[in-house]
């Protein structure tokens, strides 16, 4: 049962954990918090999280549980779809205090997930791991528990993809950037699509020439891609594309006219008040 569980994490959760780690107290070795999301049919989707202040000592751990409950109650008023699905901690391993913290979350939700985010960047990679706490011993007699790894996937909504692309640009340029227009996004997407098609053509030619061994999974994906393309002539595609471009330009023009009209109204209102 545990091996079939999949934990799907959104990028915003990882950013929130990293931000909490950067803002930690100077004497704090790691940071912990609550995972929020949904759990259904063997899939735990983590869409949000928050930090829980705590202190760890050699033989005990202190966490502000009242703070965690109050924060969750406030979040629940805003988004009733998100419930507690587990907890997170920074680091690349499960510590001795993890069982104590996990016992608390076991009372808040069934089968809570424990997720770790390696902020030490071992191997120049920020590893994400998820665990379930399973009982050990003879059936009917619980003698202990063990954290068992489960599969982790990073998934995104479309707005998150846009944000991630902007973040990638700032990493390369090392400076802030302005959001691009819709037409610029279309141009970037077309350029990237052309690059990917060139790579696919090179791969296919290498396979046909015997320079690269064929991969059945890649072949099936290419076949699905070809079947997903509508069977239309180049003239029909050009007419459809030009029609969509005209619609986009019309919407952009109307938005600019509306913005200009609002600015004129503000200036006229200011003048009349004087």
* Digit-coded pLDDT (tens) for 97-147: 888 888 888 888 888 999 999 887 777 778 889 998 887 766 666 567 788
Packing angle, helices 182-209 and 216-228, rounded to 10: 130
Q: How many CB atoms lie within 10 A of CB 78?
A: 8
- 105 vs 63: CA distance, rounded Å: 12
Average pLDDT of the residues of the chain: 84
25-38 mean pLDDT: 87
CATH of the domain spanning 2-156, picked from 3.40.50.1370, 3.40.50.300, 3.40.140.10, 3.30.70.3280:
3.40.140.10
85-108 mean pLDDT: 86
Q: Quote the pLDDT of residue 114.
A: 92
- Measured over all CA atoms, what is the biggest interatomic distance in the chain, rounded to whole angstroms? 85
- 180 vs 254: CA distance, rounded Å: 18
Q: Quote the pLDDT of residue 44.
A: 92
In this structure, what token pair is assigned to residue 123? 């191997």
Beta strands 43-52 and 6-9, pairing class: parallel
Decide if pLDDT at 161 tops 70. Answer: yes
Instruction: Give domain limits for the chain.
Output: 2-156, 182-229, 233-274
For the chain, the straight-line distance linking the first and the last C-alpha, in angstroms and rounded, comes to 73
């Amino acid at each position: 049962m545990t091996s079939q569980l999949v934990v799907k994490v959104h990028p915003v959760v990882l950013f929130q954990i990293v931000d909490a780690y950067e803002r930690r107290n100077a004497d704090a070795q790691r940071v912990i918090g609550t995972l929020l999301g949904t759990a259904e049919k063997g899939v735990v989707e983590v869409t949000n999280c928050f930090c829980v202040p705590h202190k760890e000592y050699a033989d005990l751990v202190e966490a502000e549980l009242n703070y965690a409950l109050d924060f969750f109650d406030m979040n629940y008023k805003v988004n009733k779809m998100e419930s507690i699905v587990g907890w997170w901690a920074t680091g690349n391993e499960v510590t001795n205090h993890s069982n104590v913290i996990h016992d608390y979350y076991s009372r808040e939700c069934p089968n809570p997930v424990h997720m770790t985010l390696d902020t030490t960047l071992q191997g120049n990679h920020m590893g994400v791991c998820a665990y379930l706490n399973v009982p050990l011993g003879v059936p009917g007699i619980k003698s202990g528990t063990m954290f068992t790894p489960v599969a982790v996937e990073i998934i995104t909504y479309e707005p998150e993809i846009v944000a991630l692309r902007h973040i990638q640009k700032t990493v390369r340029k090392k400076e802030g950037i302005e959001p691009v227009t819709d037409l610029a996004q279309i141009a970037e997407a077309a350029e990237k699509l052309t690059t990917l098609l060139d790579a696919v053509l090179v791969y296919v030619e290498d396979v046909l020439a015997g320079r690269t061994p064929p991969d059945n999974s890649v072949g099936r994906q290419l076949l699905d891609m070809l079947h997903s393309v509508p069977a239309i002539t180049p003239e029909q595609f050009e007419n459809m594309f030009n029609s969509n471009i005209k619609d986009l330009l019309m919407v952009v023009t109307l938005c600019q006219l509306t913005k200009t009209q609002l600015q004129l109204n503000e200036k006229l209102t200011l003048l009349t008040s004087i």
